[in-house]
Structures are given as C-alpha cells and as structure tokens.
Structure 1
Amino acid sequence: MILVLRALGVGDLVTAVPALRALRAAYPGRELALAAPAGLAPLVELVGGIDRLVDTAGLDRPAWSGPAPQVAVNLHGRGPQSHRLVAAARPGRMLAFANADARFSDGPRWAADEHEVDRWCRLLSWYDIPADRTDLGLRRPGPAGLPVGATVLHPGTKIPAKRWPAERFAALARALTDRGHRVVLTGSADERALAERVAETAGLPPTAVLAGRTDLGALAALVAHARLVVSGDTGVAHLATGYGTASVVLFGPVPPARWGPPPDRPRHRALWAGEGDWPRWDGVGSHPTLTALRLDEVLAAVDEVERVVRVSGAVAA
C-alpha cells in the first residue's frame, strides 16, 4: 500500500494532481491511500486513481493506523511535523524533502519560491518517479441541474487579505451582466453573507447567490460547465485550471509564480500588482496588492481570455 499525506484544501489537492498520478503510474498494482480531509471526497473522485481517502484534517492526529505501508509520501510540506506524522505510519520507505529537524536526509532540498505544482513533481523526480506537470485535468461531472454557461464570480477566500474588495466584485458583476453574462456568486456557507452583499449591490437576484448551496462536487460541476471564472487566489481558481474553463485570477499578496495557473495556458490570466515596493502592512481586509487592481484591468483580462476561447473554438471547428 502507498500512503500519501496531503491534509490541506481544494487548491492544494488540485496542484498535487500531477504528483498523485505519477505515484499511481509508478505503483500500478498497489492500493493508493490519500490522507486528506474527508470533505474533499467528491473532488478525490474527480482526480481518479486514488483507492482510499483517509480522513486527515491537519497534522494534529495520526494519518494512518493500519498496517505499515510499503511507501509513504509527504506531499504536505517540508516538515518536521508532517515528516514525523508520515514516519509514524512505519513505512518501508519514505519519500519527502530533506529536513534536518526531522532527521530525514534522503530527499531533495526545499525551494521556497517554487511553483506548487513543480515542487511535488521535482520531489518525485528526485526518487526517479517521472511526473508530468501539465497533467492537471479533472474528470468532468455532469451539470446535475446547475447553470450551464454561467459566469462564476467567487468573491471570498479563507484569508481576508487575499480578497478583492466586495464593491469591485459588485461593479464587475454589473459590467458583465450588461455584456450578457449570466453571473452567479459562489462561496462557502461562511461566505454567503459576502456573496449576498455583492449580489445586492450589483442588482442581481437572490437566485444568483449559490454560496453555501453547493457542495464541492456541485461546485466542480458548475466550474466545469461555466463560461468564465473570476476569483481570488483560492481553490475555485484551480478548478478552473483543471477544467480549462476561462479564468481571471486576482493575486495578492502571494505572487502567481507560486500558485497561479500555468503561464503557457492562455485561457487563464493571473493579475498581480505586487511588482512594486509595497510597505509592510498590518491592516485588515484586502491587501494593497489587491486594492491596486482596477476594474478596467479585470475587464480587459476577461476580454483577453474570452478572445482566446473564441479563437480556439474557431480553430477546432
């Protein structure tokens, strides 16, 4: 059995897809168990190739209590806490980044500025397991009664500093509606009030607010069949990449070089105003790198990705 630790969120799982598929290919006859939060189960099914999901949220309890796995892989972080959690499963072999504090030297060195997809592919490559960083596609579920061809605006993130201001999302919703888009607003149950405020300010009907009304599987289906996604640096942006749905992702303060969509995919546009010399910031709400992003910049990016979709569609036809 192969045990993989990735006890994180939606975007973390999607960026680990190439590494997970590489492990599936490297060990075709063995059970592949993923230690991750149980709430990710609908998305795990869309990744494919994972035989068992072991409910593991964070690093505060054992990731595995069964028989010792033949191989255990730390796709969670650089250690030492995650290393010790993986080692506690008593694997025959452990694949991880080197970490002196965890007394683990059999692995490559961690690179702080590396893109998240490349990080885990490089880890496996060090152990002679080839991984294709472009293998990010997810299985496409049916729409299951959800809107098809909608424009998805996702104004929330778990970290308030990574949110584009709500009033600008509302202005974007108005502008896109005027252009003929069917706009819907997504988010978690905790973000429903934010989505409702955006909808009310934009003049959208209450039915446009889907925040808190879709589980992860439904959200994936909505994105898979959407016309466009505009969001901050959060899980829904990675779903758009996985489905090739046109997207504009608003970054700050973390640069897109670490978590953004692949730069060679023109259907996805990352906006970031972090190149400037931003001072130390202790405020609340949106980080200055996000408030610096103007509505006209976002609309221009929307035009760019939609132009790419039209041209690629014409070529395919």
Structure 2
Amino acid sequence: MKATLILLKQVDRLAGRLAASLLPRPVPRQTNVPPKSILVIRPGGIGDAALLAPALHALQRSYPGVSIDILAERRNAGAFALCPGLRSVSRYDVPAEFFPVLRSSYDVVIDTEQWHRLSAVVARIVRAGIKIGFATNERRRLFTHPIPYEQDDYEADSFMRLLTPLGIRGEGEAECSFLAVPARDAELVDQLLGGLKGRRFVALFPGASIAERRWGAERFASLAALLVQRGIGVVVVGGESERAAGRTVEAAGGLSLCGRTGLAATAAVIGRSALLVSGDSGILHIAVGLGIPTVSLFGPGRAKKWAPRNGCHTVINKELPCSPCTTFGYTPKCPENARCMADITEHEVENAVLEKISHV
C-alpha cells in the first residue's frame, strides 16, 4: 500500500499538474433542482474520512433520499463503514472499482482533497453539472465552484465549507457524535475484551502515519503501567504496523488487540472505552466521531486544524517555536528528533487521563 501511495504522488506531480493545466474549464451550470446523486471524492487517510462525516450528514439532512457515492482509497475506505446511509464506496486505486465511477454521471461532484491534483482531474472528467473543490493550486481551474482553503481552520469546518455552493452552511456547528459502529463489529468486541468486558478501561493508540508524530512505544508502556497500578484497565488498538508496540505495552499490563481487528472493530473497542490516548492520527478522529473523550499529543501537526475541540478533549502540545511544521500533510524530517513529542512526559499524560476520566 505504501508503494502505491508513493506512485500516486509521483503521478500527481507530473501527470496531475499537466492535466490540471490543460483540461478546459468546466462550464458553470446553475440549477434550482435538488440533487438526486452526489459523488464525493475522498483520497487520503482515515482522519480526513472521519472528519468528512459531518458534511455527509449535512447533505443527507438537506436532501432526503439523495444517493451519495464515495470514491476513496484502500487505506481509508474502511472508515466509511462508520457513516450510515451511503449508497456505495469505491476505491480509485482499484481499477475495477474506479473505472465504473469514471463512466457514471452525477448531479454534483465534490472533491474533498486539499492539494493533490489527480482527484480534481477525476472530478473534471466525471459528468456532473456542478463540480466543487478546494482552490489551492492549478486544481481550481477544474471546478465550477472553487472554494478557498485555510491551513488553520478545523478540518471538519473546511469540508463543510465545500457545501456552501449548495446553500448548506454548518461551519462551527460541532456534532458530539457523527460516526456509528456497525452492529456486527460491536458484538465481536465482547469476545475480544475478555476479562475487561464490563470494566472501565482506557484505549491507547501508539501509531501514526509519520514517525515524527509518534510518542514512542516505551512511553505508552510506562503510561499503561501507571494506569494499571491505579486499577484502570488498558487496551492497545492498532493494525499490523502497531503489533510490536502493542506487545511492549502488553508487557506492562495492558491488553493488545493490535492486528486483530479491522477498522470498524477497532472503532467498536474505542466506543467501549472511557477514553482514548493517541497522537495526531486517524484513530484519534474516530474516537472524536464516536463521542469518546480523548487525550491527544500534538507536536508537528497543526493543532488548529486537527486537534479535537470542546471540553470532552484534552490536547497536550508543547508549542515549541518550530511547531507545527506540517503543511498539506507533509512533515519534514526533524533535526531535533521530534523534541515537541519527546518533551511530553508520561506523568503529564497520566494526570490528563485521570482528570478526564474522573468526569466520565
């Protein structure tokens, strides 16, 4: 999957930029007829997919009975299982799923990608009277309605802004819960939790797509030991790439489910927890979408854009002069070994967890 992602970015830099510059601009088409079919394009990671859910709900509320198709990627398609009411989810890095979408027609196409151009090219090619997307580079030429994008706006609000050409406004209207776990995955969790079933526990996610955003398996293990000493159960969640970190935390007294659950079942585990501790990650946004309190660790990432809001969540951020350093998803290699993350101590996180769960 990583090799496919690198290839897509290389194609975007070359073919995407060229196509975005050469394709003719679409002809704006005004209509007062409510759309019956909408294609929403969402490449990228799990976090973007999760925070897109409030905008999808707004479309469903505004246009009852509308058919919404999602064009995602293999790495984030599973997140849309947590968004009820969608007609279909296809993946553009799976040709057998991509080409039927390319040949389809819609009333509206909404490209939610923030920077890369290939998705904008797809939006331009797919037949639709209204084409909406972010105007961050040459991609603005390919939409009937290009929308400004700001680096310091909360991402769910940025996605909601894409709906303004349709007369839908909802920026700043935070939903306490905007994701739902399928029933079959909720039932599976009871078996996985074993002796922790019915007990209060804290979920830990030690992973991150970028090394600079990781707090470290040893620190998570130390945190787990501190919590276990206080009689609080600990469950580590994650995929195959978090198995080693899960074993480290398990040795400190936690239960590791890393690599044993798909994304929906992982969401079900988080949904049973009292709280999630995570760095800046897609799993963090899954917890937010489920209405679960979080303690999040920020450093390289843009807290204004990605950190959870409202009193249910605690954000730990050292706010060093060099952070945040991430722009449009790119984090440069840190010459100080991600000091913004390393300076966060286990006791600091423990105190935040204890303060938060005392109110749960």
TM range (shorter): 0.7 to 0.9
1:34 corresponds to which residue?
70
Give the deviation of 1:279 after TM superposition: 11
> What value does the CA root-mean-square deviation take over the aligned residues?
2.7
Distance 1:278 1:222 in 2: 32
Classify the secondary structure of the residue corresponding to 2:102: coil
* 1:20-55 per-position Cα deviation (integer Å, ceiling 9, x unaligned): 112223333331101113565554232112111112
Distance 2:210 2:69 in 1: 29
1:287 corresponds to which residue?
338
2:72 and 2:91 in contact (8 A); partners too: yes
Query: Which residue of 54, 77, 87 corresponds with 2:114?
Result: 77
2:312 corresponds to which residue?
267
Q: What one-letter code is carried by the residue in structure 1 that aligns with 2:125?
A: A
2:301 and 2:323 in contact (8 A); partners too: no
2:115 and 2:137 in contact (8 A); partners too: no
Distance 2:288 2:225 in 1: 25
Distance 1:82 1:254 in 2: 24
- Say whether 1:215 aligns with 2:254: no
Give the deviation of 1:99 after TM superposition: 5.1
Distance 2:110 2:324 in 1: 39
- Say whether 1:122 aligns with 2:156: no
- Say whether 1:134 aligns with 2:181: no
* 1:248-272 per-position Cα deviation (integer Å, ceiling 9, x unaligned): 111121132110111x2x2211111
Give the deviation of 1:5 after TM superposition: 0.3
Query: Which residue of 129, 141, 153 corresponds with 1:92?
Result: 129
Distance 1:233 1:284 in 2: 20
Distance 1:121 1:85 in 2: 21
1:63 and 1:89 in contact (8 A); partners too: no
1:173 corresponds to which residue?
224
2:355 corresponds to which residue?
304
Give the deviation of 1:58 after TM superposition: 9.7
Distance 1:285 1:151 in 2: 31
Classify the secondary structure of the residue corresponding to 1:96: strand
Q: What one-letter code is carried by the residue in structure 1 that aligns with 2:169?
A: P
1:250 and 1:290 in contact (8 A); partners too: yes
- Say whether 1:156 aligns with 2:201: no
* 1:208-244 per-position Cα deviation (integer Å, ceiling 9, x unaligned): 1211011111101100111221111112211211122
2:299 and 2:323 in contact (8 A); partners too: no
Classify the secondary structure of the residue corresponding to 1:220: helix
Q: What one-letter code is carried by the residue in structure 2 that aligns with 1:35?
A: L
Number of equivalent positions: 302
Change (3 A) 1:94 1:226: same
State TM-score, norm by structure 1.
0.85
1:64 corresponds to which residue?
101
Classify the secondary structure of the residue corresponding to 1:114: coil
Moved over 4 A (4+): 38-42, 277-281, 283-286
- Say whether 1:197 aligns with 2:256: no
Give the deviation of 1:291 after TM superposition: 0.4
Q: What one-letter code is carried by the residue in structure 2 that aligns with 1:107?
A: P
Q: What one-letter code is carried by the residue in structure 2 that aligns with 1:139?
A: A
1:24 corresponds to which residue?
60
Q: Which runs of 5+ in 2 are unaligned?
A: 1-36, 326-331
